[in-house]
Amino acid sequence: MKRILYISICSLIIICSGNKSWAQQLGIFTNYMLNDYYYNPAVVGSKDITIANVSYRDQWAGFKEAPTSYMGSVYGSYQSKRKIGLGATVIGGKSGLMQRTGGYLTYAHHFDLTKDKKLRLGLGLSAGYIQYRLKLYDARVIDNGDDMLTGNVLTTSAFDANSGVYLYHEKFFIGLSGSQLLNYKLPFDNSNSRLKPHVYAMAGYNFKFGGEKEKKNELQPSLLLRSSNKKATLQTDLSLKYTYNKMFWVGATYRTESAVCALIGFNYKDRFNVAYAYDYALNKINQYSTGSHEFWLSYTLSKKKRDLEKEEEELDNGVQQLYRQQQQQQKKEEDEKK
C-alpha cells in the first residue's frame, strides 16, 4: 500500500516539474465532469456506487478524417466501503491516418480527513497498454518510393501509467493528475515520437437551494486546467451547470481561445444517464466545420447501500418530534379545561 501511494505522489511531482517535450496527444471531452475518471484515476471509489459508462466525441464535424475519441469504463468502490476504488477503462481515437487504442486498470485508496467522514482524500494509480496504428495505404504522397511507405500499416505499442490526487467533500472537489507519465518512446521507424506527459487540475463547488428540506436546485461552477508542459499554453475549461431535482440539467462551457459549448443531460431514477454536448469553435476552424458533437451514456450498476446509522438517527428524531407534539397537545387540552 505504502509503495503505491509513494509512486502516486512522486509521479505527480515529476510531471509538475515539467518536461522538455510537449504536444496535446490525448483526446478532449467537454463533459469532463461526467468523464472525471478519464482525467483523474483517484476519482475511482469516491462514490459508494458502481458505474459503467461510454463516451464518444466527433470533433470538427465536416472535416474529412477529423479526430474522433471514445471511452468505456467500469469503476466503483470495493465492497461499497469507499476506502478502496477499482476501475477499468478502454480508450481510443482516430486522427487522420493514426489510430490509438489503450486499456487501463486502476487502483485508488481513500482516507477520511475529518471525524464526520465528509472531507476525504483519494490517491489513485492507473497502469495500462497503448497501441498506435498508422495506415500508410491511405496516405496521399507527393514523392513515391519512400521507404516509410513500403508497408501497409505501421504498428507500435507502449506501456503507460497515470496518477492522481483527489480532495473532495459533498460541497466541493479539487483534483490534480497526470497522464502518460512514463514518457515512453514510440518505436516507429525514423521517428523520435514519445508519449508526452499531460497535467490536469480540476475543481468545482456545489450550491444547493430551493427550500430547507428539499433542495431541488443545484448550481455547480467548475473548471478544468490542462497542459502538456510548463512552457505550453495552459488551456482552461470554465463551466457552469444547473441541475433540477437530480433529473434534468443544462450547462455551458468556455474553452479559452478555442470554443464555447452547450451541454444537456437527463437522469432516470438514479440509474440511467444520458448527456450531449455541442462545441462551437471560436477560431478559423468554424469556417470549415459545423462544430463538435459529444455523447455520453451511463448506467449505475449498484446503488448506495442503506446507511443504518443515519436511518436510526432519523427514526429517533421522528419519535422525539412526535413525542413533543403529543406533549404540546396534552398541555393545550389541560389549559383549555382550566
Q: Can you give the residue range of the structural domain that contains 321?
A: 309-338
Are 331 and 191 members of one domain?
A: no
Q: Reply yes or no on whether the pLDDT at 149 is more than 60.
A: no
How many residues does this entry show for the chain?
Answer: 338
Query: Over the Cα atoms of the chain, what is R_g?
Result: 25
Examine the domain organization and report whether 19 and 58 are in the same domain: yes
Shared domain for 120 and 267, answered yes or no, is yes
Per-residue pLDDT at 79: 75
**Residues 231, 336 share a domain:** no
In this structure, are 265 and 321 located in the same domain? no
pLDDT band at 303 (very low <50, low <70, confident <90, very high): low
For 187, other C-beta atoms within 10 Å of its C-beta total 12
Q: How confident is the model at residue 286 (pLDDT cuts 50, 70, 90)?
A: confident
Statement: residue 70 has pLDDT above 60? yes
Residues 6+ apart with CB under 8 A from 216: 210, 244, 245, 246
pLDDT-derived band at 1 (thresholds 50, 70, 90) equals: very low
Please give the average per-residue pLDDT across 73-93, as a whole number.
89
pLDDT tens by residue, 44-61: 999 888 999 999 999 888
> Which of 150, 161, 165 lies closest to 106 in space, CA to CA?
161
pLDDT greater at residue 254 or residue 338:
254
Same domain, 257 and 110: yes
User: Average per-residue pLDDT in the chain?
Assistant: 81
This prediction has a pTM of 0.78
Give the pLDDT confidence score for residue 141 in this predicted structure.
54
Question: 186 and 300, same structural domain?
Answer: yes
76 and 214 part of one domain: yes
Is the pLDDT at 321 greater than 80, yes or no?
A: no
CA atoms within 13 A on the CB side of 72: 5
Looking at the fold, whether 299 and 315 belong to one and the same domain comes out as no
Same domain membership, residue 239 and residue 313: no
- Given this model, what pLDDT does residue 26 score? 80
Closest C-alpha among 100, 99, 97 to residue 137:
97
The reported pLDDT for the residue numbered 241 is 96
**CA–CA separation, 118 vs 96, rounded Å?**
46
Please tell me the number of Cα atoms within 13 Å of 166 on its side-chain side: 25
pLDDT at residue 158 above 90?
no
Question: Which segment of 3-7, 108-112, 150-154, 199-203 scores lowest on mean pLDDT?
Answer: 3-7
Q: Quick one: 327 and 245 in the same domain?
A: no
* Digit-coded pLDDT (tens) for 88-119: 999 998 887 788 899 999 999 999 999 888 99
pLDDT tens per residue across span 181-194: 888 777 665 555 77
The predicted structure's pLDDT at residue 92: 92
Residue 304 and residue 326: Cα distance in Å, rounded?
35
Indicate whether 127 and 206 sit together in one domain: yes
Number of domains the chain contains: 2
Cβ–Cβ under 8 Å, residues 61 and 291: yes
